Amino acid sequence: CLSIPMAEQTVERQELYNKAIQHLQSQPNASKWKNPTTFSTPLHVACRLIDVDQNQRSAKELCAVMDLLLQSYPEALQLKDASGNIPLHYAIAPSTLWMAGVAAVSASKSGEDMELSKDSQQQQLAQFVKPEEDWRARGIFVQHLMLSNLQVAQAYWQQNDVIFESTDATGGCSPLYRVLQTIPDDFDPN
């Protein structure tokens, strides 16, 4: 997948999301599926995909998938996965560790060596996570989730010991602190 130009990957993801939309429209109970190992719902996965698609044309289709998931199974917003996280957790801030896993899986599918050097991992990760990340797109996703269940959102935002999957996370902190920590620094010349 990583050997395919980003524009083609975006088109493939748009097609995949459109198929997911059609499936959810005909089979709304599919949104209630839970991975038996990770306990992730399709909404958890969709929220993790924000890291891949927020700066792409496929973000519109991902947003439509999330809306259908929320309409057909709003309870998923408060379900915790095996790590104890609700979907909103994955939506609020990028997860560089999960994205590195996406890059590794994509590399293995394209026949590349799974044992990538740190520099190679960073280069492949840069295809997905851009320094000029468009936080407006992430904000739209988060807004959809928050407005779906304000009580769940408020309870999550009031926590102060949330652990985030990232190489730059500082341990337990509030979700707001993590968002502020991951916003690109306008004052950093690098």
In angstroms, the CA 145 to CA 66 distance is 8
- pLDDT tens digit string along 10-59? 678 788 888 999 999 999 999 999 999 999 999 999 998 887 766 566 77
Average pLDDT, the chain: 75
The pLDDT score that the predictor gives to residue 95 is: 66
Q: What is the pTM of this model?
A: 0.73
- Supply 100's token pair: 């590195």
Give me the pLDDT at residue 22, please.
94
Pair 62, 144: CB distance under 8 Å? no
Backbone angles phi, psi at 93, to 5 degrees: -150, 150
Task: Tell me the three state secondary structure of residue 111.
Answer: coil
pLDDT in tens, the chain (190 residues): 333 444 566 678 788 888 999 999 999 999 999 999 999 999 999 998 887 766 566 777 888 899 999 999 999 999 999 999 999 998 887 765 444 444 444 444 445 444 445 555 455 545 544 444 556 777 888 888 898 899 999 999 999 888 887 666 666 888 888 888 777 666 655 5
Q: What is the pLDDT of residue 56?
A: 65
